[in-house]
């Protein structure tokens, strides 16, 4: 029986492969094959400082803000880095270049969701996920006055391409603190 949100498939259409059950959100201990998205260092036990450095290094390698954060924190999620890189691409520059929600915030919420959700449509983890996501978003807003990309860029006196560095740094630190506080890292 199809999922209620799926459209009916035409006769003879191949059913898409189902995803495997979500894995535990435990840190990865080894890096697989190196790729363009690979972290700058193998971090079995990452610190806030090491993660922040990795986020900035990824941004320097032309990852957008959302990709930089999500990929650096992939070790805590059941989602592989390449998938996160692809998924976060449209969140750059404030949601596809619209200068709306900051990519650091979008990626932080995505990482929190991947770690806190049990992957069930039941309401077993939603309240906790919402609580952690709200706490992270509010902490970012308290630190910078807004979560809007356009407003953050206007507040920054640093020219591109390093205009977002302060937001990447504090966002990575705040995200790591949130994950640790809620036993998700």
Give the C-alpha separation, 78 to 122, whole Å: 19
Contact 113, 129 (CB under 8 A): yes
The residue among 159 and 145 whose pLDDT is bigger is: 145
Phi, psi of 128 (to 5 degrees): -65, -45
**Over residues 58-83, mean pLDDT:** 97
Q: How confident is the model at residue 44 (pLDDT cuts 50, 70, 90)?
A: low
pTM (predicted TM-score): 0.76
Q: How confident is the model at residue 36 (pLDDT cuts 50, 70, 90)?
A: low
Mean pLDDT of the chain: 82
Listed by start position, the domains of the chain span: 48-181
Task: Note the pLDDT tens digit of each residue in 106-140.
Answer: 999 999 999 999 998 887 899 999 999 999 999 99
């Amino acid at each position: 029986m199809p999922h209620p949100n799926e459209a009916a498939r035409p006769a003879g259409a191949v059913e898409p492969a189902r995803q495997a059950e979500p894995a535990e959100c435990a840190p990865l201990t080894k890096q697989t094959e190196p790729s363009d998205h690979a972290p700058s260092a193998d971090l079995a036990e990452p610190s806030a400082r090491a993660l922040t450095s990795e986020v900035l290094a990824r941004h320097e390698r032309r990852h957008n803000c959302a990709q930089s954060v999500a990929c650096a924190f992939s070790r805590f999620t059941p989602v592989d880095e390449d998938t996160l890189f692809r998924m976060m691409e449209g969140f750059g520059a404030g949601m596809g270049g619209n200068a709306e929600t900051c990519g650091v915030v979008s990626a932080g919420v995505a990482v929190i969701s991947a770690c806190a959700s049990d992957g069930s449509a039941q309401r077993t983890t939603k309240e906790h996920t919402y609580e952690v996501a709200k706490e992270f978003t509010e902490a970012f807003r308290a630190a910078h006055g807004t979560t809007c990309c356009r407003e953050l860029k206007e507040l920054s006196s640093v020219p591109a391409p390093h205009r977002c560095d302060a937001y990447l740094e504090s966002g990575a630190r705040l995200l790591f603190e949130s994950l640790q506080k809620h036993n998700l890292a």
